[in-house]
Amino acid sequence: MEEISVLNLFLDAGLVVKLVMIILFVASILSWIVIVERYKFLKNIKSQNDVFLKKFWSGSDLDELFNEIRSSKSFGAINLFKNSYDEFINLTTKEDLTELDLESINRSMRVSIASDDEEMSKHLSFLANVGSVSPYIGLLGTVWGIMTSFQGLSDATQATINAVAPGISEALVATGMGLFAAIPAVVAFNKFTSESESISQNTLIFAEELASIFYKKSIKK
């Protein structure tokens, strides 16, 4: 008896079912690449921001802190501070800071937050598409495989389960591959979306506190 394996079922499958399996396999590989990349990216952002905020609230000199991070590529609270403090330094060359000047700083903060949101949501739409579409692609392969099996049964001299079992097995593998591609993509999408929203919320809170610091500095000046 020939050993049943996914590889054997793939090799014995029809053209349409093979195509479905290949599409799902490629989608699964790409989604795992995205998952690993996004995991490392968001983990790095949280780690860097935790270190930065601890240093910021420890009373470090803002000029020194700015000089440390000004040339680095950053996101979240670090990016917000770097862009807004750069704007603040440029404006403090004037004798008096007006409401319009402070609004310019706030606008710089909003741009930083929007830019970070866009960067953090990169590739997440791909995970969402894989998670929502893969089961249906797998189902298409299953339906096609079962339909082909029963068409072949009509030409058989004797209708037995052995005649249709291989075709149905091949078809069900397509459904399994669809779920295999979809489930990790959905879980990862929900996790990364939640983490991105958490980082954005923390950055917004920091932005409010930083704006208050800039306002107090402008009054003292």
Domain layout of the chain by residue ranges: 6-66+76-220
Give the per-residue pLDDT at 1. 41
Mean pLDDT value across the chain = 83
Is the model's pLDDT at 67 over the cut of 90?
Answer: no
Residue given tokens 């029963």 in the structure block = 150
Angle at 130 between CA 125 and CA 134, to 5 degrees: 155
Q: Torsions phi, psi of 3, nearest 5?
A: -65, 130
Angstrom distance (rounded) from CA 55 to CA 58:
5
Angstrom distance (rounded) from CA 14 to CA 16:
6
Angstrom distance (rounded) from CA 77 to CA 113:
9
Please choose, from the candidates 182, 142, 172, the residue with its C-alpha nearest in 3D space to the C-alpha of residue 16. 142
For the ranges 73-77, 104-108, 192-196, the maximum mean pLDDT occurs at 192-196
Confidence of residue 172 (pLDDT cuts 50, 70, 90): confident
Angstrom distance (rounded) from CA 72 to CA 132:
37
Angstrom distance (rounded) from CA 173 to CA 10:
8
Angstrom distance (rounded) from CA 192 to CA 43:
10
5-25 tens-digit pLDDT: 656 666 666 787 788 888 999
Give the per-residue pLDDT at 144. 81
Contact 137, 173 (CB under 8 A): no
Angstrom distance (rounded) from CA 15 to CA 209:
61
